[in-house]
Structure 1
Amino acid sequence: MSAQKSITDLRLDGGILCLDFINTISNRKKIPLVDYLHHFKDVLQWYGHTGSLPAKTIHTLERLAKDYPQKAAVVFDKSIALRELLHRLFLYKASGKRPAPADLFQFNSYIGEAYANIEIAWVAGGGQLQFNAPALEQVYWWLVKSAVDLYTTDKPMPVKECPACGWLFLDKSRNGSRRWCSMSTCGDVDKVTRSYQRAKKKSS
């Protein structure tokens, strides 16, 4: 992997937290892969970009990472390993295939860890899931919860792979006809490419 890209420029086209995390690779069909995430602080910046963690929690995790840099590095590596694991699992889901047993076993170990640390709190008159103590590991625990929610939902929406860039996204369109992660990027590129090919055929 090469070249660092700005997280603040990253589109959030996945439709759910875990797919947006999978899509922190710029283009999975283009080698060398360009990764948005290189360090633990990048993961925290990504959470800030998505708005899925409160600023107070992010600041707490920043302080913990500064105090325990070696642990932060281990957690970062586990987060990236989870990202690639989820990529494989949801590619299987997108194609209607059965996941590899080894991948399910690995994911179940993440689930066991995450759900051993989750609790219900009473917030603003209702129940809310949260993790029971500030921990660096919660940056991947939330991703595990998001992935479990998507895998086990009673009202499934198709998970699709963009044919242009390889990003994964939830097809929330009414008739399930969405093809691209984004019409303004990959869809537009495809339109221009097909237009060029038609013009080339006419001129030849």
Structure 2
Amino acid sequence: MSAPKSIATLRLDGGVLCLDFINTIDNRKKISTCDYLNNFKELLQWYAHTGALSPKIIHTLERLAKDYPQKAAIVFEKSIVLRELLHRLFAAFMSGKNPVATDLVQFNSYIGEAYANIEMAWQAGTGKLHFNAPALEQVYWWLVKSAAELYTSASPAQIKECPACGWIFMDKSRNGSRKWCSMSTCGDVDKVTRNYQRTKRKKP
């Protein structure tokens, strides 16, 4: 029996924050699948799992969500809309196609909101971008920043979709030959399946 799926055991195979966020659907090749994110609290748990936000910021957002539960619910829904929007944008990106015009307009509205709230800080002799006030919307602002940076710096050949589960990942291998989100999961399943099919064909 396989272990129950949870955020704590969720693999981070995307290689980039925004791609890991897209991959919070367990298997995009199946109609019935596990969604790891069902509310704002679980979204913060995912951030803690990735290490993308500090415990201090997460604690602040937890307090804000408790004080403003309706707003937290709206922000969560907007985050999930962003997740599916990013999936469509990167699917088009990988295929070398232009994004759907309405998707681009929608993403630009996210960019406008996020970058209106970003500022430069100077820490330990270097500049660092951060959001200028604690806000529940930070949970999708960071994802917008990650996606915009990846979308404008990567080549289509670097972003790939796992043929087994539909997860999207950045291929950082030296020769660009990575095929699976993870060789220990989808890669192994494919290997076992191919071995079974070969054995089956050999039987009289």
Q: TM-score, normalised by structure 2?
A: 0.96
For 1:126 and 1:156, locate their aligned partners in 2 and report how far apart those are by CA, in whole Å: 31
What is the alpha-carbon distance in structure 2 between the residues aligned to residue 155 and residue 104 of structure 1?
18
Q: Secondary structure at the match of 1:130?
A: strand
Task: Give deviations 1:22-48, integer Å, cap 9, x for gaps.
Answer: 000000111212100000011100000
Q: 1:172 corresponds to which residue?
A: 172
> Structure 2 matches for 1:149-168, cutoff 5 A?
149-153=149-153, 158-168=158-168
- Report the alpha carbon displacement of residue 156 of structure 1 after superposing the two structures with TM: 7.1
CA RMSD of aligned residues (A): 1.3
- 2:56 corresponds in structure 1 to 56
1:116 aligns to 2:94 (yes or no)? no
The answer to whether the 8 A contact 2:122-2:128 is kept is yes
Letter in 2 for 1:172: K
Question: Are 1:131 and 2:139 matched, yes or no?
Answer: no
Q: Against the structure 1 CA distance between its residues 149 and 156, is the aligned structure 2 distance closer, same or farther, given a 3 Å change threshold?
A: farther
Task: Flag structure 1 segments of 5+ consecutive residues without an equivalent.
Answer: none
Residue aligned with 2:45, SS: helix
**Which residue identity does 1:125 align to in structure 2?**
G
Please list the CA deviations of residues 32-74 of structure 1 after superposition, one character each: whole Å capped at 9, or x if unmatched.
1210000001110000000010100000000000000000000
Equivalent residues in 2 for 1:33-72 (5 A)?
33-72=33-72
Do residues 92 (structure 1) and 80 (structure 2) align?
Answer: no
The answer (yes or no) to whether the contact 2:95–2:156 under 8 Å persists in 1 is no
Q: Report the Cα distance in structure 2 between the residues aligned to 1:154 and 1:201, rounded to whole angstroms.
A: 42
**In structure 2, C-alpha distance between the alignment counterparts of 1:19 and 1:133, rounded to whole Å:** 25
The match for 1:6 is 6
How far did 1:5 drift?
3.4
- Tell me whether 170-179 or 71-80 shows the greater mean CA deviation: 170-179
Tell me the matched-pair count.
Answer: 201
Question: 2:80 aligns to what?
Answer: 80
Q: Give 3-state SS (helix, strand or coil) of 1:197's partner.
A: helix
CA distance in 2, matches of 1:155, 1:35: 29
Q: How far off is 1:126 after superposition?
A: 1.3
Structure 2 equivalent of residue 189 of structure 1: 189
Decide whether aligned partners of structure 1 residues 196 and 49 sit closer, same or farther in structure 2, where only a CA change above 3 A counts: same
Distance 1:138 1:81 in 2: 15
Q: Mean alpha-carbon deviation: is it higher for 53-62 or for 149-158?
A: 149-158
Deviates more, 1:171-180 or 1:133-142: 171-180
Matched letter for residue 13 of structure 2: D
- Percent of matched pairs sharing the same residue: 75
Judge conservation of contact 1:26–1:33 (CA < 8 Å) in 2: yes
Q: 1:14 to 1:154 in 2, by over 3 A?
A: closer
Given that 1:150 and 1:156 are in contact with CA atoms closer than 8 Å, whether structure 2 keeps it comes out as: no
Give me the whole-angstrom Cα distance separating, in 2, the residues matched to 1:8 and 1:55: 15
Question: What is the alpha-carbon distance in structure 2 between the residues aligned to residue 123 and residue 176 of structure 1?
Answer: 35
The answer to whether the 8 Å contact 2:94/2:157 transfers is: no
1:127–1:71 distance in 2 versus 1, CA, 3 Å: same
